[in-house]
């Protein structure tokens, strides 16, 4: 069982481990964060926490029963009632429905707690898992884009519709 938690300062060590252990796995489908991200992780983590406190972003971790980070689901560039959704799930946790459940939960939080009315997302065409998560959680494709030189799609989710996800217990991802 995993729990969705809002990012905190004390998450830093587990989050860094998650990013390091899954770096190659993530780089196969999304742009690599680069060596600078890892070399200056503590500084960046403090910056992200300050941006979250200012309401610019809402960062979430999917935390396993042993405190390990299994994934992240972030809402960034919060402005005018909308934000961009981004998520990544650890390789060892992929394929278990965790991304869908976590995105459902963040969708509900975005509407109920953060007062957002719409979410945007993007993914490459060669990432069928991400496209499936977006489709299962109510996102609709709105156009083609290019991401890091690869063809992709832009999606949107209207949060004024009921955010009825598959996850009945807030905060707990099965």
For 157, half-sphere exposure in the C-beta direction (CA atoms, 13 angstrom radius) is: 29
Whichever domain contains 112, its CATH number is: 3.40.630.30
Position 128 scores a pLDDT of 92
Position 171 scores a pLDDT of 55
Position 173 scores a pLDDT of 54
Query: Nearest CA to 75 among 121, 42, 139?
Result: 121
Q: Give yes or no for a contact between 108 and 163, defined as CB atoms under 8 angstroms apart.
A: yes
Position 31 scores a pLDDT of 75
110-125, pLDDT tens digit by residue? Answer: 999 999 999 999 999 9
- Residues listed for the chain: 174
Position 28 scores a pLDDT of 83
Position 172 scores a pLDDT of 52
Which residues, at least 6 apart from 101, have a Cβ–Cβ distance to it below 8 Å? 165, 166, 167, 173, 174
Q: Structural domain of residue 20, as residue ranges?
A: 2-173
The pTM assigned to this predicted structure is 0.87
What CA–CA distance (Å, rounded) separates 96 from 159? Answer: 25
**Residue segments in the chain with a per-residue pLDDT below the cut of 50:** 162-170, 174
Q: How many domains does the chain have?
A: 1
Query: Nearest CA to 67 among 111, 108, 18, 113?
Result: 18
């Amino acid at each position: 069982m995993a729990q969705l938690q809002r990012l905190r300062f004390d998450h830093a060590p587990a989050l860094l481990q998650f990013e390091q252990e899954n770096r190659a796995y993530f780089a196969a489908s999304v742009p690599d964060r680069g060596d600078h991200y890892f070399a200056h992780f503590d500084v960046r983590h403090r910056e992200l926490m300050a941006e979250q406190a200012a309401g610019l972003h809402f960062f979430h971790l999917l935390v396993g029963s042993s405190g390990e980070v299994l994934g992240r689901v972030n809402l960034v560039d919060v402005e005018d009632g909308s934000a961009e959704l981004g998520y990544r799930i650890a390789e060892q946790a992929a394929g278990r429905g965790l991304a869908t459940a976590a995105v459902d939960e963040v969708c509900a939080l975005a509407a109920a707690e953060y007062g957002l009315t719409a979410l945007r997302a993007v993914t490459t065409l060669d990432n069928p898992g991400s496209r499936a998560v977006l489709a299962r959680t109510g996102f609709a494709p709105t156009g083609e884009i290019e991401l890091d030189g690869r063809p992709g799609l832009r999606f949107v989710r209207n949060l004024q519709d009921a955010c009825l996800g598959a996850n009945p217990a807030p905060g707990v991802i099965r």
